[in-house]
Structure 1
């Protein structure tokens, strides 16, 4: 059994430093010239793969991308960049992680890493079917296809080196609970208790990680899920009429479910690490929890509603060019009723930066 690399991101001192930090990141003092980053998961790390499939779960229109380069709505479910974009920039690899399904990607872009993630996806095979998006299994198939393309271009030896030395980031699970288990059509809740659903999801995660290891991956990062009871849409759908509008508070019992899930996944990461691999579980739960408990300490004015529209339910096409947009996006933790603003993602990245150094160096 290997040693677990778990990083709890709740240092208040660190967050105070973040608030006065420039958005310009510094390249770490390590060689990343041959490094690639591959990303799997949901909307937290999808830079626009859903643009290329038939689904209603899209964000390639304003006001999404309001603060991206040239105000371009790329398909990222936020006003700007994602944590993974900040990560590749920090590592000196490139400015942004592109979506694998973009047909215009050059081989150079492919060689430095892509995202296979799909907004609306999850570890439960049922979750992506609810919105017609790319399942985790299909994302793995795309990775297999990617390997074949790269091997045909640069040869077997170089492609094996690339795969072995790359960093793999997995960020999913929120939709399995927020949309699937506790959503408006809670099919899984009728057949699974929470402990059994934990077990079911962990089995899916274990298979996915094992597939990556079998493909040659050696540095794998599992990102935990946030307090799902604090997502604006979850508050709206799980509050009584008065609390929906006047006394909006996190639904603690749902956040407790997320915390329990994180703990079990972290334990599974311990069990799966091998002598020739490094598996990391990154805890973002405490980071969000600190913000929710004292938003003004971190420079936020609005924590329980999104910036787009009413901020209570809007996501995807409900957040559109005709929607009202808040005056100062950076005052909000959330851009729409589910997804963080670019500023929130930047704060998460800054909290992760020391951990990212450790991961990039393979320690």
Structure 2
């Protein structure tokens, strides 16, 4: 784990780029066969798992969660709900997805799915190691433990049904580019962009196949978002002008093209599987570039503090916040507001429904 102030600040400059759901009315067909939702990956999905591990990557303090139920800071890296929360709410499953490591998560909650995601994690195990968060390999181990628990609760047959008919959602890769390739550029010294994208693709494929071996059949994969136009990337690339970081977006798209193609291959090669790719880059680009049309006034900085660098421990109870976060696309310099997440998830619903129905 990185212990120097220099590297912690670099985490705050590049970590966890993730998002959530729209205000427009959407008609969702009810499907009783889908009982559970599972989330893996990073802070776009993390609903509080990082609260229970030894890492600096946390959001369990104000002003995070100020609009969540009871104004509670749950460890979600936004003012209210994460992407996965928005998804389960819109699909009628529950109000939010609980964190697996949260001791308050009860047996009855487990039957409807949980979140295994960890803020600042990625497909590359090095990414999680740098900031001492939960790598995808450990998230798989948590899933195995979860399966053992529900076997004890409902029996093996019903437990298998829950996993097989559940929707397994993955959001990763942003931190690989932000941390391992840029902030602490270990991978940049070893790989060019296309080679690193290929490395990430191989690691992602291994993870998806392991999910499949454990019984997952409906797998939703979010691509890397429009990260070059996130506030912190703008600060790094063009602090005063607030221009987008073209390099970051090119890296994201290099990987996304490979990932989407791989989803199609896996869908055709793994029997009875459904892999759904969500073009998160396109969705977040649309929201940021056309923010005025969605009722936002600010898209180049976050609501917390100056909005140009504050994230995680730098966005805290001593940090002033904007008077109306509904006017901001971003909550902090790397994560969207609940309103923006809702819009994002509404845009993702057509792809999501391919895996849900």
TM-score by shorter chain over 0.5: yes
- The equivalent residue for 2:322 is 326
CA offset at residue 298 of structure 1?
A: 1.9
Distance of 2:111 and 2:299 partners within structure 1: 38
Instruction: State the SS of the aligned residue for 2:265.
Output: helix
**1:314 equivalent in alignment to 2:314:** no
- The equivalent residue for 2:118 is 118
Distance of 1:109 and 1:170 partners within structure 2: 20
CA offset at residue 287 of structure 1?
A: 1.7
- The equivalent residue for 1:14 is none
Instruction: State the SS of the aligned residue for 1:54.
Output: coil
RMSD: 1.5
Q: Is the Cα contact below 8 Å between 2:220 and 2:352 reproduced in 1?
A: no
Distance of 1:270 and 1:358 partners within structure 2: 13
Q: Is the Cα contact below 8 Å between 1:32 and 1:91 reproduced in 2?
A: no
Q: Is the Cα contact below 8 Å between 1:33 and 1:93 reproduced in 2?
A: no
TM-score by length of 2: 0.90
Superposed CA deviations along residues 281-309 of structure 1, whole A, max 9, x for unmatched, are 11011122123323212221111111101
Point out where structure 1 has 5 or more consecutive residues left out of the alignment.
Answer: 1-17
CA offset at residue 69 of structure 1?
A: 1.1
Q: Is the Cα contact below 8 Å between 2:123 and 2:204 reproduced in 1?
A: yes
- The equivalent residue for 2:252 is 258
Superposed CA deviations along residues 240-277 of structure 1, whole A, max 9, x for unmatched, are xxxx12x1110112201101211100111111123311
Matches within 5 A, 1:179-198: 179-183=179-183, 185-198=184-197
CA offset at residue 33 of structure 1?
A: 6.3
Distance of 2:72 and 2:236 partners within structure 1: 31
Instruction: State the SS of the aligned residue for 2:40.
Output: strand
- The equivalent residue for 1:6 is none
Instruction: State the SS of the aligned residue for 1:182.
Output: helix
The structure-2 alpha-carbon separation of the partners of 1:182 and 1:295, relative to structure 1 and needing over 3 Å to count, comes to same
Q: Is the Cα contact below 8 Å between 1:127 and 1:176 reproduced in 2?
A: yes
Point out where structure 2 has 5 or more consecutive residues left out of the alignment.
Answer: 1-21
- The equivalent residue for 1:232 is 231
Distance of 1:136 and 1:354 partners within structure 2: 26
The structure-2 alpha-carbon separation of the partners of 1:94 and 1:189, relative to structure 1 and needing over 3 Å to count, comes to same
- The equivalent residue for 2:5 is none
- The equivalent residue for 2:219 is 220
Q: Is the Cα contact below 8 Å between 1:127 and 1:180 reproduced in 2?
A: yes
Matches within 5 A, 1:46-85: 46-85=46-85
Distance of 2:97 and 2:203 partners within structure 1: 25
- The equivalent residue for 1:297 is 293
Superposed CA deviations along residues 22-41 of structure 1, whole A, max 9, x for unmatched, are 6xx76x33233651011100
Superposed CA deviations along residues 109-164 of structure 1, whole A, max 9, x for unmatched, are 00100000000100111101121110111101100111111112211111111111
Distance of 1:45 and 1:291 partners within structure 2: 19
**1:105 equivalent in alignment to 2:105:** yes
- The equivalent residue for 1:134 is 134
Q: Is the Cα contact below 8 Å between 1:32 and 1:92 reproduced in 2?
A: no
TM-score by length of 1: 0.89
The structure-2 alpha-carbon separation of the partners of 1:294 and 1:90, relative to structure 1 and needing over 3 Å to count, comes to closer
**1:270 equivalent in alignment to 2:256:** no
Q: Is the Cα contact below 8 Å between 1:178 and 1:234 reproduced in 2?
A: no
Q: Is the Cα contact below 8 Å between 1:116 and 1:139 reproduced in 2?
A: yes
